Amino acid sequence: MTVMHINRHFLEQADWVDPETTVDRVILGDPDKQVQRVLVTWIASFAACRHAVDRGFDLLMTHEPTFWAHRNELDNLDDSAVARAKRAFIENSGLAILRNHDVWDRFPRLGIPWAWARFLGMGTEPVARGADGYQHRYDIEPTPLDALAARVAERTSAIGEPCVQVVGDGAQMVSRVGIGTGCAARIPEFQAMGCDVSIVCDDGSCYWRDIQRAADQGHPVLRVNHGTSEEPGMATLTAYINDTLPGIEAEHLPHGSCFRLVGT
């Protein structure tokens, strides 16, 4: 299979994606390159690109951007030393970069929100979904907020985030949990779905606006890192490639939380 064959395969599974406007496309490299080995990772960091080249992968499949812009990455590429160096490294190596974002964000049962909810032990199918399909609600037994936060932190510690941020009364009982990742974690939409607690990520909810509004309403919020919330989806994407695309061997390069916590 070529890089374009792989990209076309995913787009053909996703009737919710417009092939003309999607960010799911070849970012750099030869679209006609034959592919046998794929490295799947959450974001095409410089370190991930070097890892792919050093270990002889033909293709790096990334969920988030390579060049720090959601759309038209190369058109918006700044003229900085790091941008020039990163682009030159990829082009000189012969590595192809393929983005898989819009498809995997809503891919039924395996995509980002489903994988995140299963990772947290919420179940396999949501009881409700938001209008755009990205935000899900899962119902659990009534649980104190801090107990739910500890349950989430126990899971996320395995991928580099041992603590979660909690806003709200720790003793407040919650049972209707909003699950969202990335920018698709809008607290008002969770509230419209009947959720009494929202699990959001740092790239999708800011404190002075979204979270403070929720706090003023008495709606508790748990917040984790963007990379943490989407890592389980990268594992399911890797498994999907290995199970579905003949002749392709995929390997998952974990990214996990984007930061470390340092205390006194």
Structural domain including 58 reads 3-106
User: Does the structure show a pLDDT above 90 at 184?
Assistant: no
- Percentage of residues in the chain having pLDDT higher than 70: 100
Q: What are 37's two structure tokens?
A: 């080995």
Q: Do 217 and 188 have their domain in common? A: yes
144 assigned to some structural domain: yes
Q: Positive or negative CA dihedral for 123, 125, 128, 130?
A: positive
User: Does the structure show a pLDDT above 90 at 150?
Assistant: yes
Q: What is the pLDDT of residue 38?
A: 98
pLDDT by residue (tens digit) across 121-146?
998 899 999 988 889 999 999 999 99
202 assigned to some structural domain: yes
pTM of the model as a whole: 0.96
Mean pLDDT of the chain: 96
Q: Do 68 and 164 have their domain in common? A: no
The domain boundary, picked from 106, 122, 138, lies at 106
Q: Do 185 and 217 have their domain in common? A: yes
User: Does the structure show a pLDDT above 90 at 97?
Assistant: yes
152 assigned to some structural domain: yes
- Of 9-13, 163-167, 205-209, 232-236, the range with the lowest mean pLDDT is 205-209
User: Does the structure show a pLDDT above 90 at 182?
Assistant: no
Q: How far apart are CA 24 and CA 64, in angstroms?
A: 10
Q: Do 91 and 52 have their domain in common? A: yes
Q: How far apart are CA 17 and CA 77, in angstroms?
A: 25
User: In CATH, what number is assigned to the domain containing residue 193?
Assistant: 3.40.1390.30
260 assigned to some structural domain: no
222 assigned to some structural domain: yes
Q: Do 125 and 98 have their domain in common? A: no
251 assigned to some structural domain: no
